[in-house]
């Protein structure tokens, strides 16, 4: 392991995270009519976090100042991605700690709420949830309240919380590659460790240019969404924060009721459209722009067609279920609510306009299944990715055929391209690893977390904890029951929060960039 190079790159990433906190500082001041006084706790908390982040990043960079970028191998690239995201989560937690952000939790065995300052596990959970675009939260009472004893999160801290989504959506490593020159083949290795799903052929040559183009597309679509939301009635602050959550498929909101706080149907449909765009492979946008064949590029992509088909089918099924099982629900309201929630869950955004935990068991079951599907490869969405389900279905079909025709040699193809045995092996291994991690984490969470919130309903505890593991491993946010869209994760023990934080990182980096950090031989010298 090239430790000097590792320190140099991690230091630069740390400085990048610290520098990005500057954009949150102005929101502590009373302008735009949203706060009446200067939020000193949030402002000085952010300043302290910026100072600490730049100091840590600068120190690491100084230690590895003599390292050469062209000496990076695949091992170093994996270490930089894994450790870089861990450092980002730690540094991103500092504003919550230094500002004294408060939250509430229920007292053990009672319905009384207890006001407390967030601790280290809370801050890490919130920060990692932001960067990994999960959107699971331990914060309560996000909005202003007439009761002065009720905790409220400072507006500048809320902005930082949402901004972590936007940074993590396209990827801090992709941004890093786009900014830093002379990485060469090392940049490709870094991208491969972070970009979700199998990396498209369109991003392999001229890696830095491809990273810059993808970030430019990401910024352009984000700006368009922010303008539309402002026109449709959101304040500038709300429009920016919900743009960050939508484009990153994150789900953090500035309101306790999430998108349900906005009664405008235009806002709901706009966010639905942009969640779909965010769940699409960004390499397709790059390819469509370079070839100037927008419609043909998307129409010929197998994954995109299946992605839209799954969204439409699930929305149709859920709309019928909501309409026939919800009293006094109009057809339009049922379609809007079902379409929004299907899109939000499948793209792993996690926004909510309704408490889907109150829907029928079949509807809740469908939502749980969609948690594992996710968006397209190369999108900002989480989950297993649509492309892997397509490949897995083709692999299963081929294996079944070879069971009764063992002598038939039939190549596995996707969109006319042959899929070799190594790629097929990777897909099967990934499915197996996700299943094993899900089951092991589910059992661990049941052991770590006492049954107090569930009281005598232990069957609900099994389903709720399973949904929490699925929601964090697939970077969705809300689960079912006590982890549903109207609740949060504040009541969990510190050990449970750390476990779920690790699952968020595993899901965002697609397992291997984190798993290798726990293998002793990975850290040995070349």
Nearest to 170 by CA among 112, 211, 198, 223: 211
Look up residue 418 and give its DSSP letter: E
- Who's near 103: CB < 8 A, 6+ residues apart? 115, 116, 118, 122, 138, 139, 140, 141, 151, 490
Residue 337 lies in a domain: no
Tokens of 292: 């100037």
**Domain limits at 453?**
386-523
Q: Is residue 393 part of a domain?
A: yes
The answer to whether residue 414 sits within a structural domain is yes
Whether the CB-CB separation of 217 and 286 falls below 8 Å is answered with yes
Q: Is residue 345 part of a domain?
A: no
Is the overall model pTM greater than 0.75, yes or no? yes
Any domain includes 133: no
Are the CB atoms for 233 and 150 separated by under 8 Å?
A: no
Residue keyed to tokens 């083949």: 185
* Total number of domains in the chain: 1
CB 172 within 8 A of CB 88: yes
Strand partners, 176: none
373 occurs within a structural domain:
no
Q: What is the 3-state secondary structure (H, E, C) of 420-461?
A: CHHHHHHHHHHHHHHHHHHHHHHHHHHHHCCCHHHCCCHHHH
Is residue 91 domain-resident?
A: no
Question: Residue with structure tokens 């940074």?
Answer: 167
Distance CA 312, CA 316 (A): 6
CA–CA separation, 487 vs 15, rounded Å?
Answer: 34
Q: How far apart are the C-alpha atoms of 73 and 84, rounded to whole Å?
A: 16
**Dihedral (CA of 440, 377, 9, 526) sign:** positive
Q: What angle do CA 34, 17, 483 make, to 5 degrees?
A: 65
Alpha helices in 326-376 (DSSP H): 331-346, 361-373
pLDDT in tens, the chain (526 residues): 788 888 988 998 899 999 999 999 999 888 755 666 788 899 999 999 999 999 999 999 999 888 776 666 777 878 888 898 999 999 999 999 999 888 877 644 445 667 778 899 999 999 999 999 999 999 987 876 545 555 578 889 999 999 999 998 887 666 656 555 555 555 555 555 555 555 444 444 466 677 777 888 899 999 999 999 999 999 999 999 999 999 999 989 998 889 988 988 999 999 999 999 999 988 888 788 776 666 777 888 888 999 999 999 999 999 998 888 877 778 999 999 999 999 999 999 989 988 888 888 888 889 889 989 988 988 888 888 999 999 899 888 888 888 887 777 777 777 777 777 888 888 899 999 999 999 999 999 999 888 766 665 555 888 899 999 999 999 998 888 888 888 889 889 999 999 999 999 999 888 888 888 888 888 876 5
Q: Which two tokens stand for residue 425?
A: 């092996």
Proportion of the chain in helix, strand, coil states, percent, rounded to 5: 65, 5, 30
Of 386, 249, 384, nearest to 304 by C-alpha is 386
Q: How far apart are CA 280 and CA 467, in angstroms?
A: 24
Question: How far, in Å, CA of 126 to CA of 252, rounded?
Answer: 10
Q: For residue 273, tell me if it sits in a domain.
A: no
Give CA–CA dist 12/30, Å, rounded. Answer: 33
């Amino acid at each position: 392991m090239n430790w000097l190079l590792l320190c140099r790159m991690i230091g630069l990433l740390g400085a990048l995270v610290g520098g990005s906190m500057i954009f949150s500082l102005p929101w502590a001041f009373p302008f735009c009519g949203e706060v009446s006084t200067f939020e000193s706790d949030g402002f000085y908390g952010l300043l302290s976090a910026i100072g600490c982040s730049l100091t840590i990043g600068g120190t690491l960079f100084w230690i590895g100042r003599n390292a050469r970028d062209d000496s990076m191998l695949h091992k170093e690239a994996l270490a930089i991605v894994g450790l870089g995201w861990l450092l980002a989560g730690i540094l991103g937690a500092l504003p919550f700690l230094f500002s004294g952000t408060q939250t509430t939790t229920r007292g053990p065995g009672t319905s009384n709420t207890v006001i407390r300052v967030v601790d280290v596990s809370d801050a890490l959970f919130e920060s990692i949830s932001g960067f990994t675009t999960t959107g699971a939260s331990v914060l309560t009472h996000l909005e202003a309240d007439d009761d002065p004893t009720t905790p409220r999160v400072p507006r500048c801290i809320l902005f930082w919380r949402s901004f972590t989504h936007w940074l993590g959506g396209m990827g801090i490593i992709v941004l890093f590659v786009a900014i830093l020159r002379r990485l060469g083949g090392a940049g490709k290795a870094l991208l491969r460790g972070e970009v979700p799903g199998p990396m498209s052929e369109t991003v392999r040559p001229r890696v830095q240019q491809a990273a810059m183009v993808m970030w430019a597309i990401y910024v352009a679509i984000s700006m368009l969404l922010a303008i539309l939301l402002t026109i449709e009635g959101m304040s500038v602050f709300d429009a920016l924060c919900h743009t960050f959550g939508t484009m990153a498929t994150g789900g953090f909101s500035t309101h306790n009721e999430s998108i349900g706080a906005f009664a405008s149907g235009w806002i709901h449909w706009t966010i639905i459209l942009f969640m779909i765009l965010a769940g699409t492979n960004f390499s397709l946008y790059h390819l469509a722009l370079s070839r100037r064949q927008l419609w043909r590029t998307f129409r010929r992509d197998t994954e995109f067609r299946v992605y839209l088909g799954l969204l439409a089918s699930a929305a149709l099924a859920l709309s019928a279920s909501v309409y026939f099982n919800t009293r006094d629900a109009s057809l339009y309201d049922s379609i809007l609510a079902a379409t929004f929630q299907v899109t939000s869950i499948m793209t792993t955004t996690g926004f909510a306009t309704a408490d889907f935990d109150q829907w029928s068991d079949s509807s809740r079951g469908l939502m749980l299944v969609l948690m594992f599907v996710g968006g397209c490869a190369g999108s900002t969405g989480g989950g297993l990715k649509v492309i892997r389900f397509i490949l897995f279905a083709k692999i299963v079909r081929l294996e079944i055929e070879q069971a009764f025709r063992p002598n038939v040699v039939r190549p596995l193809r996707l969109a006319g391209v042959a899929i070799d045995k190594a790629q097929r092996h990777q897909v099967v291994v990934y499915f197996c690893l996700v299943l094993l991690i899900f089951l092991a984490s589910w059992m661990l969470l049941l052991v770590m977390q006492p049954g107090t919130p569930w009281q005598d309903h232990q069957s609900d505890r099994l389903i709720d904890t399973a949904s929490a593991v699925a929601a964090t491993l697939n970077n969705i946010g809300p689960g079912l029951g006590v982890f549903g869209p109207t609740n949060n994760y504040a009541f969990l023990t510190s050990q449970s929060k750390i476990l779920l934080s690790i699952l968020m990182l595993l899901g965002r980096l697609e397992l291997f960039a984190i798993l290798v950090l726990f293998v002793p031989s990975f850290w040995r010298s070349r």
